[in-house]
């Protein structure tokens, strides 16, 4: 159950192990995934044994922090989207008043309108498609992708509590 | 805002092929766009990781409700630096699609790092000295991942290729913080 202490571990891994527990490392590796991964893969990245990773992942699944899916007979793990959504909404409500929420929503809408005008595009997908064109330089493609990412982030937050009317449903 | 909410399926075609059986469908059911949510989620987790690091005095996401980057205050003495304060800025764009390789501009763009994302970890001192690790298109170095630094704000940056081995995002953050310590102690 103890962390794997390998003499071959790179120096940065030793620093990480010194400052974060096995559970924290398993959780952190899992919560930053871009696609579902197996327990052995997560174990290797977190420098724990596969059984330790499985124990911690099971606990995270029980807490609805992580989802478990079956891929060809092997369990794969990924952050639970509903947990992420609720955590972000709670943080938003804790940090902001209703007035601030509507002001933020207005700012996000203004930003999106500005992107639409600046890039003459209706969605961030258009920017990503444009970035793929052969005639676009690497720097221009990066700029388009970054703008698309900003736009997607604004959309995500605009969609959060469905702002005003959703808050009213919650009695806030 | 109803005209600008995530449109179901609209990004699944060219969104990361690997793992699409999961990310395209079930994740989007929460109503947000997947790349937007992933960027905030990853930066939020990195904020927690950074807070554990002994050189970090404080760290916050900017803006608080929608992380586009992290800003940290550091103790420069931990790195053996003489200044009173230092800061760190971290950006992360998890979905670089279409990547530079898609249009064959740079066939080896992702060499030297197994993680496909655009990111920066940049250290600043009030003296004007600043340096950092950047994985992003640039005209100075083949491929994306490089180290850049300048001794004063009025000086040009120097650039050099670097490589990182971590395959998890959190691991990469610790690898970069160790690499930063090595650079600053020279």
Q: Could you report the per-residue pLDDT of A66-83, keeping only the tens digit for each?
A: 999 998 899 999 999 999
Rounded-to-integer distance, Cα A162 and Cα A168, Å: 10
Q: Please report the pLDDT score of residue A82 as a whole number.
A: 92
* CA distance between the termini of chain B: 52
Rounded-to-integer distance, Cα A158 and Cα B31, Å: 10
Rounded-to-integer distance, Cα A81 and Cα B104, Å: 34
Cα torsion B24, B30, B31, B35: sign = negative
Rounded-to-integer distance, Cα A31 and Cα A10, Å: 22
B169 reaches A (C-beta below 8 A): yes
- Does the distance separating the beta carbons of A142 and B49 come in below 8 Å? no
Question: In 3-state terms, what secondary structure has residue B60?
Answer: strand
Q: What tokens appear for B168 in the block?
A: 């998890």
**Residue B132, strand partner residues:** B122, B148
Q: Which of A154, A159, A164 to mutate to test the interface with B (most CBs of B within 10 A)?
A: A159
Rounded-to-integer distance, Cα A128 and Cα A142, Å: 9
Rounded-to-integer distance, Cα A158 and Cα A18, Å: 39
Q: What tokens appear for B96 in the block?
A: 């670089």
Query: From edge to edge, which strands make up the β-sheet containing A66-71?
Result: A37-38, A74-79, A66-71
Q: Which of B2, B3, B4, B144 to mutate to test the interface with A (most CBs of A within 10 A)?
A: B4
Helix (H) or strand (E) holding B122: strand B118-124
Closest-CA residue of A relative to B176 is A12
Neighbours of A110 (CB within 10 A): 11
Q: Write the pLDDT tens digit of every residue in B33-47.
A: 576 788 999 999 999
Query: For residue A154, is pLDDT > 80?
Result: yes
- What is the ipTM, given to two decimal places? 0.79
Question: In 3-state terms, what secondary structure has residue B159?
Answer: strand
Q: Write the pLDDT tens digit of every residue in B45-58.
A: 999 999 999 999 99
Provide the CB-side half-sphere exposure for B16 (13 A, CA): 21
Contact (CB, 8 A) for A16 and A47:
yes
Q: Mean pLDDT check: name the lowest of A20-34, A50-64, B131-145, B167-181.
A: B131-145
Instruction: Give A 48-67 residues with CB within 8 A of chain B.
Output: none
What are the b/e assignments for B7-42, b being 16+ CB within 10 Å?
eeeebeeebbeebeebbbeebbebebbbbbbbbbbb
Rounded-to-integer distance, Cα B58 and Cα B74, Å: 7
Q: Please report the pLDDT score of residue B2 as a whole number.
A: 36
Neighbours of A172 (CB within 10 A): 12
B26 reaches A (C-beta below 8 A): yes
pTM greater than the 0.90 cutoff: no
Q: What is the DSSP string of B104-118?
A: TS-TTTTTT-S--SE
Instruction: Give A 11-50 residues with CB within 8 A of chain B.
Output: 11-13, 15-16, 19-20, 24-25, 28-29, 31-36, 42, 44-46
Binning pLDDT at 50, 70 and 90, where does residue A18 land? very high
Helix (H) or strand (E) holding B148: strand B145-150
């Amino acid at each position: 159950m103890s962390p794997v202490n390998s003499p071959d571990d790179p120096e940065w891994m030793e620093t990480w192990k010194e400052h974060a527990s096995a559970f924290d490392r398993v959780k952190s590796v899992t919560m930053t995934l871009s696609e579902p991964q197996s327990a052995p893969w997560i174990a290797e990245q977190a420098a724990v044994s596969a059984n330790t990773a499985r124990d911690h992942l099971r606990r995270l699944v029980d807490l609805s922090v992580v989802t478990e899916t079956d891929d060809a007979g092997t369990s794969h793990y990924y952050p639970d989207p509903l947990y992420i959504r609720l955590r972000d909404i709670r943080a938003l409500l804790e940090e902001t008043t209703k007035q601030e929420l509507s002001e933020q929503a207005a700012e996000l809408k203004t930003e999106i309108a500005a992107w639409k005008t600046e890039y003459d595009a209706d969605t961030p997908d258009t920017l990503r498609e444009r970035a793929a064109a052969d005639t676009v330089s690497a720097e221009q493609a990066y700029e388009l992708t970054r703008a698309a990412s900003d736009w997607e982030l604004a959309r995500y937050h605009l969609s959060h509590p469905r702002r005003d009317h959703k808050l009213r449903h919650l009695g806030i | 805002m109803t005209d600008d909410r995530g449109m179901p399926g609209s990004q699944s075609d060219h969104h990361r092929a690997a793992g699409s059986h999961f990310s395209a469908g079930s994740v989007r059911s929460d109503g947000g766009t997947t790349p937007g949510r992933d960027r905030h989620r990853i930066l939020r987790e990195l904020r927690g990781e950074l807070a554990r690091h002994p050189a970090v005095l404080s760290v916050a996401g900017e803006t608080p409700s929608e992380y586009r980057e992290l800003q940290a205050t550091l103790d420069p003495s931990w790195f053996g630096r003489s200044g009173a304060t230092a800061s760190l800025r971290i950006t992360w764009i998890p979905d670089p699609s279409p990547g530079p390789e898609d249009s064959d501009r740079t066939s080896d763009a992702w060499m030297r790092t197994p993680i496909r994302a655009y990111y920066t970890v940049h250290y600043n001192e009030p003296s004007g000295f600043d340096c950092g690790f950047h994985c992003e298109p640039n005209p100075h170095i083949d491929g994306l991942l490089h180290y850049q630094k300048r001794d004063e704000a009025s000086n040009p940056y120097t650039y050099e290729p670097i490589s990182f081995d971590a395959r998890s995002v959190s691991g990469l953050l610790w690898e970069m913080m160790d690499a930063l310590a090595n650079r600053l102690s020279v």
